[in-house]
């Protein structure tokens, strides 16, 4: 389906700034009504008021911390309602820092926001979308999901953050295959460095003050959303906004198939102990 022909309401998490706010503005201009979720009430109210005035969309701000069970429960209840035809799991925090020095409570929060929340919200949304016969989920991951063993500098210390984004990539691709015979489309968008305020904090608390952009720059949030919405129209599962060669995704799948060839019952010869003539 073309997502310039909305059925109903889009729910966007992490909507108070950056990529989330850009999804909200773009979808409102396309005719969607919105539920906007974030921790910062003033930012949400200002965005909701502006979008109502500019587009005529119905905009429902929902202040919630997805790391808290009570906040997640309220958003889960809302996303399961019949009018929600698009879920954008954009909320995320980074928790950057050397793993051995990082605060364990912050790392737990990274997992709660980046892994638990999108999983729970997707589970709440999908059954009604399948029943309705249309719907889509967008999970916002990161190219750091593919950074693997690259050392910090210039990349951040990111063991947990990268792991959570790797989860989103695998979760989305696997769920998309599972739902392949249904009209529900699932996408993971993997931006690289993006010009937002994301790097101005670790996520322990919301960034205070007016919306601004970190000094590192990066791709405009508007371009990330342009790529994602275009990929929704073509049912592209893995969207990398700056990637010119889509064959890279195919080659990744081929490499994974080669790895899965190691699932046989026999031990690989390279792991067999060498002969020991002296026992």
The SS3 of residue 83 is coil
The tokens describing 66, both together, are: 């997805």
The tokens describing 44, both together, are: 């949400």
> How many other CB atoms are there within 10 angstroms of residue 58's CB atom?
15
Q: Which of 23, 161, 271, 278 is catalytic?
A: 161
- Angstrom CA distances, 73 to 39, 69, 83, 253, stand at 14, 6, 18, 35
| Contacting residues for 12 by C-beta, under 8 A, at least 6 apart | 20, 23, 24, 27, 34, 35, 36, 37, 88, 90
Which DSSP helix (H) or strand (E) runs through 131? helix 117-132
In a 10 Å sphere around its CB, with 0-12 CB exposed, 13-18 middle and 19+ buried, how is residue 277 labelled? exposed
- Angstrom CA distances, 193 to 150, 156, 210, stand at 16, 11, 21
The SS3 of residue 62 is strand
- Which segments of the chain are extended strands (E)? 9-13, 33-38, 59-63, 84-89, 135-140, 184-189, 194-195, 219-220, 238-239
Q: Is 161 designated active site? A: yes
Could you tell me how many residues make up the chain? Answer: 279
- Angstrom CA distances, 237 to 125, 134, 139, 181, 278, stand at 18, 16, 10, 14, 56
Catalytically active residues, by annotation? 161
């Amino acid at each position: 389906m073309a997502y310039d022909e909305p059925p109903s309401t889009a729910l966007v998490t992490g909507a108070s700034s950056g990529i989330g706010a850009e999804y909200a503005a773009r979808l409102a201009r396309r005719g969607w009504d919105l539920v906007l979720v974030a921790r910062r009430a003033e930012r949400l109210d200002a965005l909701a008021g502006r979008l109502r005035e500019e587009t005529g969309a119905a905009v429902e701000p929902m202040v919630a911390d997805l790391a808290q069970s009570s906040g997640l429960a309220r958003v889960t209840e809302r996303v399961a309602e019949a009018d929600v035809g698009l879920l954008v799991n954009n909320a995320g925090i980074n928790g950057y820092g050397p793993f051995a020095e990082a605060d364990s409570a912050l790392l737990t929060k990274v997992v709660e926001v980046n892994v638990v929340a999108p999983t729970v919200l997707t589970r709440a949304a999908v059954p009604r979308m399948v029943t309705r016969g249309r719907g889509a989920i967008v999970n916002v991951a990161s190219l750091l999901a593919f950074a693997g063993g690259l050392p910090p500098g210039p990349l951040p210390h990111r063991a947990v953050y990268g792991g959570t984004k790797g989860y989103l990539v695998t979760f989305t691709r696997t769920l998309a295959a599972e739902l392949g015979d249904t009209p529900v489309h699932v996408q993971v968008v993997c931006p690289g460095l993006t010009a937002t305020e994301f790097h101005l904090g670790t996520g322990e608390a919301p960034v205070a003050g007016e919306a601004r952009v970190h000094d590192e720059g990066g791709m405009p949030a508007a371009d990330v959303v342009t790529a994602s919405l275009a990929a929704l129209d073509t049912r592209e599962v893995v969207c990398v906004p700056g990637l010119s060669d889509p064959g890279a995704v195919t080659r990744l799948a081929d490499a994974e198939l080669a790895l899965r060839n190691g699932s046989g019952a026999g031990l690989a010869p390279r792991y067999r102990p060498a002969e020991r003539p002296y026992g």
